[in-house]
């Protein structure tokens, strides 16, 4: 609530800009607090609005209808006022939904759609479905399910028989374009030999516009901007007219290589994704971004979960349709796409389910996790390695401990002034058996692995002494399996969990590939 107080105080600070009061995290905290208060205000409005409509209070003010009353009081349109009244009436028989809404766990748009189908008998089932895993479903997501059910149905029931809805569309344009539309309608009527209604005219216009290609079914890749990507170091340049080739972020090249047309000297142009495979992926994902709640259907790329340079192929299980924004986020570690039981699972950078919104710590945790992701990729050239290294451990509660590198000793405890016995492995302080007694292995191989992981840690900003301390803690801890040598991913993950998430210095340079 501190950020919210700052927000209110800033209105009384005689013109001081909000930017001077709020930073990224406190701005998020303020918006979360405002959203909760707004939900409580929406619920508090329900009963007074119903009583005002039932007693026709607006007539005492000389107003003609409850719609005019809502327009003058709240700025609502007629339909919005009617919807608010319908929801208010429904909430009288849905007390649990009303309570969850008041606490900010449901939004108005979600409640508006759920109230179309939920009755007291199915109320809790619909609420549980809409809040599964702590993820906030959008009003559009809920609407897509609700529209296939009738009142009294359960979320798990089969969809009701199809009934196409009629939608009212209002066009706003200049007078000259309106006259051209009337002319088009007249020409269409002459061609058909009878008058043309709105739907028939729209079909003719849409068919003429889309003729020659199916929406969302392009066989060629969407990237038509020339990029030059170095196969050895990954340096990426983009053609920019008279300026020639301009250096860009290597991530731009990574995104393009997922789904692009590749031109090499002396070779024919080739698609990184075969056209038939691309069509199959887009059909499976309904021609739009596969991320839950995203509705973008234009400029959709086919993303390789495991990159081709890391052994990923064109199997449908390794491909996902992503819009340009989510595709860029996936290659920067801000969105994590995983395969899970034959389906796609989407997570935030900190391991929580995509769409979950908590408090102010969300932005800091996600920023830390994505910085670690980019540092690991810069050190190893492998996005798959980075995803696995930062994956939450089995049994971790992603809500209580979502940051895979958080929760342990502050960085100051492993500084240059720390005592040597504090840095020693637990096994050397008598706190447990030595790991080499339980898991005999080649000391040369262990030393090589330790040196390699220490190099990765120093590339992420840790000093050499700190990297050694993290490795000692990891090898003395309980996370690594006893009886076998850890892999590079397992040792790096354990070392990151053994220390603080803050990276003091990010090394420059492009993301390297093997």
Strand segments, DSSP code E, in 291-330 are: 300-304, 319-323
- Residue 308's CB is within 10 A of a number of other CB atoms, namely 14
Q: What is the pLDDT of residue 20?
A: 55
Q: Does residue 510 carry a pLDDT above 60?
A: no
State residue 432's pLDDT score: 38
**What's residue 392's pLDDT?**
63
Q: CA 303 to CA 173: how far, in whole Å?
A: 38
Helix (H) or strand (E) holding 330: helix 324-332
Q: Is the CB of residue 453 less than 8 Å from the CB of residue 463?
A: no
Residues 28 and 248: their CA atoms lie apart, in Å, by 30
Band (pLDDT 50/70/90 cuts) for residue 106 is very high
How far apart CA 246 and CA 239 sit, in angstroms, is 6
Residues with Cβ within 8 Å of residue 30, at least 6 apart in sequence: 3, 4, 6, 7, 22
Q: Give the residue among 393, 402, 396 at the shortest CA–CA distance from 481.
A: 393
As a whole number of angstroms, the distance between CA 282 and CA 290 comes to: 9
3-class secondary-structure state, position 156: coil
271-283 tens-digit pLDDT? 888 889 999 999 9
Instruction: Give the pLDDT mean for 84-97.
Output: 94
Q: What mean pLDDT do residues 369-387 have? A: 80
3-state secondary structure of 410: coil
Distance CA 362, CA 338 (A): 21
Position 505 pLDDT exceeds 80:
no
Q: Which of 214, 194, 304, 195 is nearest to 260 (CA)?
A: 304
Give pLDDT tens digits for 218-263.
555 555 566 776 766 667 777 655 556 667 777 777 787 788 777 7
Q: Which of 86-90, 192-196, 438-442 has the lowest mean pLDDT?
A: 438-442
User: b/e map of 188-207 (b: 16 or more CB within 10 Å)?
Assistant: beeeeeeebeeeeeeebeee
Q: Is the pLDDT of residue 14 over 50?
A: no
* Distance, CA of 461 to CA of 351 (rounded, Å): 22
Confidence band of 81 (pLDDT split at 50, 70, 90): very high
Model pLDDT, residue 509: 43
pTM exceeds 0.85:
no
**How does pLDDT run across 172-202, given as a tens digit for each residue?**
888 888 888 888 888 888 877 778 888 888 8
- Which pLDDT score, from 0 to 100, does residue 300 have? 86
The residue-averaged pLDDT of 442-460 equals 76
Q: Return the sign of the alpha-carbon dihedral for residues 361, 367, 373, 379.
A: negative
Stretch 326-341: mean pLDDT: 87
Segment 344-353 shows an average pLDDT of: 87
CB environment 338-349: b (16+ within 10 A), e (fewer): eeeeeebebbbb
**Range in 59-73, 215-229, 401-415, 437-451 the model is least confident about:** 401-415
* First-to-final CA distance of the chain: 48
For residue 379, give the H/E element and its range: helix 361-380
**Are the C-beta atoms of residues 144 and 173 closer than 8 Å to each other?**
no
Q: Contact 236/248 with Cβ under 8 angstroms?
A: yes
- Mean local confidence (pLDDT), 58-78: 87
Residue 180's nearest CA partner among 190, 168, 188, 169 is 188
264 secondary structure, DSSP code: -
Q: What is the pLDDT of residue 417?
A: 34
Give the pLDDT band (50/70/90) at residue 324. confident
Q: Let me know: does 322 contact 298? Beta carbons within 8 Å.
A: no
Environment class of 116 (CB within 10 Å of its CB; exposed 0-12, middle 13-18, buried 19+) = middle
Give the burial string for 208-234 (b: 16+ CB within 10 Å, else e).
Answer: eeeeeeeebeeeebbbeeebebeeeeb
Strand-pair partners of 353: 347
Mean pLDDT of the chain: 75
Q: What share of the chain in percent tops pLDDT 70?
A: 73
Instruction: For residue 400, give the 3-state DSSP assignment.
Output: coil
| Segment 279-295, tens digit of pLDDT | 999 999 988 889 888 87
Q: At what angle do helices 250-258 and 324-332 cross, to 10 degrees?
A: 120
* Separation in Å, CA 20 to CA 4, 60, 320: 14, 47, 41
């Amino acid at each position: 609530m501190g950020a919210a107080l700052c927000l209110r105080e800033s209105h009384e600070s005689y013109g001081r800009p909000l930017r001077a009061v709020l930073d990224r995290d406190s701005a998020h905290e303020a918006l979360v607090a405002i959203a909760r208060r707004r939900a409580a205000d929406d619920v508090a409005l329900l009963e007074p609005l119903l009583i005002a409509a039932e007693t026709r209070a607006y007539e005492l003010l000389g107003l003609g209808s409850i719609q005019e009353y809502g327009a003058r009081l709240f700025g609502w349109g007629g339909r919005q006022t009617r919807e608010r009244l319908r929801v208010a009436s429904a909430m009288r028989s849905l007390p649990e939904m009303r309570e969850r809404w008041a606490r900010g766990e449901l939004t108005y748009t979600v409640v508006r759609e759920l109230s179309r189908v939920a009755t007291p008998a199915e109320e809790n089932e619909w609420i549980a479905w809409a809040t599964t895993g702590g993820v906030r479903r959008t009003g559009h997501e809920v609407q897509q399910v609700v529209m296939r059910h009738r009142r009294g149905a359960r979320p798990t029931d089969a969809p009701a028989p199809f009934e196409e809805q009629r939608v009212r569309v209002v066009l706003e344009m200049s007078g000259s374009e309106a006259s051209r539309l009337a002319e088009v309608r007249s020409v269409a009527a002459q061609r058909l030999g009878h008058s043309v209604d709105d739907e028939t005219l729209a079909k003719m216009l849409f068919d003429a516009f889309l003729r020659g290609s199916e929406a969302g079914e392009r066989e060629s890749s969407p990237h038509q901007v020339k990029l030059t990507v170095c196969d050895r170091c990954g340096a990426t340049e983009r053609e920019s007219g008279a300026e020639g080739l301009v250096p860009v972020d290597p991530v731009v090249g990574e995104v393009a290589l997922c789904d692009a047309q590749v031109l090499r000297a002396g070779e024919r142009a080739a698609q990184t994704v075969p056209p038939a495979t691309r069509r199959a992926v887009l059909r499976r994902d309904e021609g739009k971004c596969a991320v839950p709640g995203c509705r973008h259907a234009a400029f959709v790329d086919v993303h390789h979960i495991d990159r081709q340079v890391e052994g990923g192929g064109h199997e449908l299980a390794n491909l996902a349709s992503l819009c340009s924004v989510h595709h860029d986020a996936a290659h920067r570690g801000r969105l994590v796409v995983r395969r899970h039981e034959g389906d796609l699972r989407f997570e935030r950078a900190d391991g929580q389910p995509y769409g979950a919104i908590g408090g102010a710590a969300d932005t800091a945790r996600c920023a830390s996790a994505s910085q670690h992701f980019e540092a690991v990729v810069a050190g190893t050239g492998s996005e798959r390695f980075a995803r696995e290294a930062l994956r939450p451990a089995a049994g971790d509660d992603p809500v209580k401990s979502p940051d895979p590198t958080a929760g342990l000793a502050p960085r100051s405890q492993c500084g240059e002034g720390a005592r040597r016995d504090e840095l020693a492995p637990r096994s050397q302080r008598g706190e447990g058996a030595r790991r080499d007694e339980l898991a005999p292995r080649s000391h040369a191989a262990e030393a090589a692995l330790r040196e390699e992981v220490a190099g990765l840690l120093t590339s992420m900003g840790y000093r050499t002494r700190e990297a050694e301390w993290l490795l000692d803690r990891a090898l003395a801890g309980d996370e690594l399996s006893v009886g076998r040598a850890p892999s590079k991913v397992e040792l790096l993950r354990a070392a990151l969990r053994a220390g603080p998430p803050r990276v003091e210095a990010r090394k420059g340079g492009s993301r390297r590939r093997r």
